[in-house]
Chains A and B, each alone.
Chain A
Amino acid sequence: MNFLNIVSVAFAAVFAENIVFNYAFGTNSVISDSDNEKKALGTGAFMTVVTTISSVLCFLADLLLNKWNSIEFLRTFVFMIITVASGLLLYELVKRFVKVRRREEKRVFMRLAINSAILGALVLTSAKGLGFFAAVVNGLFSGLGFTIAIMLFAAIRVKLRFCKIPKSFEGLPILLVTIGLLALVFMGFNGISFA
């Protein structure tokens, strides 16, 4: 796989096939964890690291499942367990370097690990049948695409606080319309390829 192919995979993962705006993966997290920019950045960073670690493990699991000819049916089960294991691994790593309030933080980590963005990115990577390096790049940049999406949304939410919104659109409706408009913006990247 040459350099342009890798760039194409990365560009597709971040813009042309952004997991949030193209497949609606992780939209629940984008809405509930974008109250402020710091929280949004933390969520994005967590997703990026977990997706990257999980994509390495899932590539290996995919190889094994392909060997046993049972990929279609065990994929969800195996990928979900890998995702949770990656989340726990990251929690243990973070715990070594940062002082965490154990019970609360562990719950937050687990809640974030069970996310449609991570599982969706992994299943998509597996369905594309990419090689090892491309799969890892796809996982990493899918996470970055999620981070860009949640940061964009958090920034818009800050602006929305100072806007006069019609009463019936207050709360969730205006957030959904905002994500819809962002999805329309990202549709402009469809079809761009470097390969």
Chain B
Amino acid sequence: MKSKKKGSFLRTLSEVASLFKGISIPSVLIIGLCPIIGVTTTVIGALGLGIVFLVVFMLSAIIVSALKKVLPPKTKFIASVITVSGITAVSEVLLAAFLPSFFDAIGIYLSISAVIGVAMLESEHIDGKEKSSEAQIAALRCAISFAVIMFVVAVLREFLGNGSFCGLQILPAEKMMQLIGKPFGGFMILGFLLAASQAMKNRKSNKKAVAKEADSE
């Protein structure tokens, strides 16, 4: 029974992981680098912007893919600019009305997320898809990976820079590296995280190569 449970859990995990197959994390990271560095000083800010971006981006992707069928291909770019910036403006109005402190905290980067949205819609991952349903699934994957990257970076930056998690103080802030809260820290954390993931990938591929060699011998 236990092994069945474990098996199903692993299957679910692999299903979740397979959702992100085909999305190049570095390309999503490069497109969204500006908010990733700017907002990830706090976990709440990063999580909030991630969720807002997810909603805004998905709505835009649905509307743009519907417009694609009606509009001539030449006007597609302008249509996506107007759609994304319009929906971002609406989200700004709603956030300013209902969550003013959160709106003030992320302020300028919410406007920047409109640019990121257009750039992602125009990227190969989404624009290259022929069917609108495929494009929407790709858009969902891009937005989720963007939010996950922001969350991971924010957890590390908030803890290392301020000694806290989601505003909850764990270690005294004076003893932490406050430079991590600056853009310098964001770039460094991101660079080292990517390097660590590449090192893990390299180790896995080395192990596989060694196992293959052993099999052939």
> A124, B108: Cβ atoms under 8 Å?
yes
B30 to chain A, nearest CB (A): 5
For this complex, 24 residue pairs linking A to B, each with C-beta atoms less than 8 Å apart, are A24-B37, A24-B187, A26-B34, A27-B37, A73-B92, A73-B93, A79-B111, A80-B81, A80-B118, A119-B112, A120-B34, A124-B108, A127-B108, A168-B196, A169-B195, A171-B198, A173-B191, A173-B192, A177-B187, A179-B187, A180-B183, A180-B191, A184-B184, A187-B182
Select B184's contact among A84, A120, A173, A180, beta carbons within 8 Å.
Answer: A180
> A114, B119: Cβ atoms under 8 Å?
yes
Kindly list chain A residues whose C-beta atoms are within 8 Å of the C-beta of B34: 23-28, 116, 120
Q: Given A73-B92, A80-B85, A116-B34, are A183 and B187 neighbors across the interface (CB < 8 Å)?
A: yes
> B183, A172: Cβ atoms under 8 Å?
no
B85 to chain A, nearest CB (A): 4
- Which of A73, A168, A176 gathers most chain B CB within 10 Å? A176
A189 to chain B, nearest CB (A): 13
> B92, A123: Cβ atoms under 8 Å?
no
Q: Is the interface of B mostly helix, strand, loop or mixed?
A: helix
Query: Can you name the residue of chain A whose Cβ is closest to the Cβ of B121?
Result: A114
B33 to chain A, nearest CB (A): 4
Q: Whole-angstrom distance between the alpha carbons of A173 and B202 in the complex?
A: 14
Q: A28-B30, A169-B191, A180-B186 are in contact. List 10 more A-B contacts (CB 8 A).
A: A21-B183, A24-B186, A73-B92, A120-B108, A166-B195, A172-B29, A173-B191, A176-B188, A177-B187, A179-B187
Query: Can you name the residue of chain B whose Cβ is closest to the Cβ of A79?
Result: B111
Interface membership of B105, Cβ < 8 A = no
Q: Given A74-B89, A76-B88, A171-B198, are A22 and B112 neighbors across the interface (CB < 8 Å)?
A: no
Interface membership of B19, Cβ < 8 A = no
Interface residues in B179-217 (C-beta closer than 8 Å to A): 182-188, 190-192, 194-196, 198-199, 202
Query: Can you name the residue of chain B whose Cβ is closest to the Cβ of A172?
Result: B26
Select A168's contact among B111, B112, B198, beta carbons within 8 Å.
Answer: B198
Q: Whole-angstrom distance between the alpha carbons of A124 and B88 in the complex?
A: 18
Query: Which A residues are within 8 Å of any B CB, using their own CB?
Result: 21-28, 31-32, 72-77, 79-81, 84, 110-111, 114-116, 119-120, 123-124, 127, 166-177, 179-181, 183-184, 187
> B118, A114: Cβ atoms under 8 Å?
yes
Query: Can you name the residue of chain A whose Cβ is closest to the Cβ of B80?
Result: A114
Interface membership of B115, Cβ < 8 A = yes
> A111, B122: Cβ atoms under 8 Å?
yes
Select A24's contact among B31, B33, B93, beta carbons within 8 Å.
Answer: B33
> A110, B77: Cβ atoms under 8 Å?
yes
Kindly list chain B residues whose C-beta atoms are within 8 Å of the C-beta of A31: 30, 33
Query: Can you name the residue of chain B whose Cβ is closest to the Cβ of A111?
Result: B122
Select B82's contact among A81, A114, A167, beta carbons within 8 Å.
Answer: A81
> A176, B190: Cβ atoms under 8 Å?
yes
Kindly list chain A residues whose C-beta atoms are within 8 Å of the C-beta of B119: 28, 111, 114
